[in-house]
Amino acid sequence: MFHQGRGNAIFTAAAAAALVLCAVALFDGEAAEAASFVVGDAKGWVFNVNDWPNGKSFKAGDTLADIHNVVVVKESGDFNSCKVPAGATVYTSGKDQVELVLGQNLFICGTPGHCQVGFMKINVTAA
């Protein structure tokens, strides 16, 4: 009986090690699958870009590329009113890469009037 119990312990340890290796491989695979999206596709970050996210699937870790004069807003009220909050992160180079976080990601244009008049804002939800 002692020998059988020892065999079960070895089998259990081997199964646990295999499970850990599978989990590591799974997480490495998810990181490799992160996608990069050019906001607005071929048109870019332009007027009426607000519908661009519709029909697309985004994940946390994906990036939005080639954006400029973009302000990250945290509150829906600021997004809806196109208000640039104090201390907001602003991307101005046109070559910025913004990594999406899990949940709602809100971006507005920082150029006065563009968000309000030209619908230069996007709401991206990352799973």
Residues 118 and 74 in one domain: yes
Q: pTM, whole model, 2 decimals?
A: 0.74
Q: Rounded CA gap, 81 and 97, in Å?
A: 25
46 shares a domain with 23:
no
Nearest CA to 39 out of 80, 97, 110 is that of 97
SS3 64: strand
Domain range for 15 is 1-33
How far is it between the farthest Cα atoms of the chain?
A: 80
Do 58 and 88 have their domain in common?
yes
13 residue type, one letter? A
Do 18 and 41 fall within a single domain?
Answer: no
Closest CA to 123 of 68, 44, 70, 69: 70
Q: List pLDDT tens digits, range 75-119.
A: 999 999 999 999 999 999 989 999 999 999 999 999 999 999 999
pLDDT tens-digit map of 33-71: 899 999 999 999 999 999 999 999 999 999 999 888 999
DSSP 8-state code for residue 50: G
- How many helices (H) and strands (E) are present in the chain, helices listed first? 3, 7
What's the total number of domains in the chain?
Answer: 2
Is the C-alpha dihedral spanning 57, 58, 63, 64 positive or negative?
Answer: positive
User: Residue 90: which CATH number?
Assistant: 2.60.40.420
**Are 41 and 101 in a shared domain?**
yes
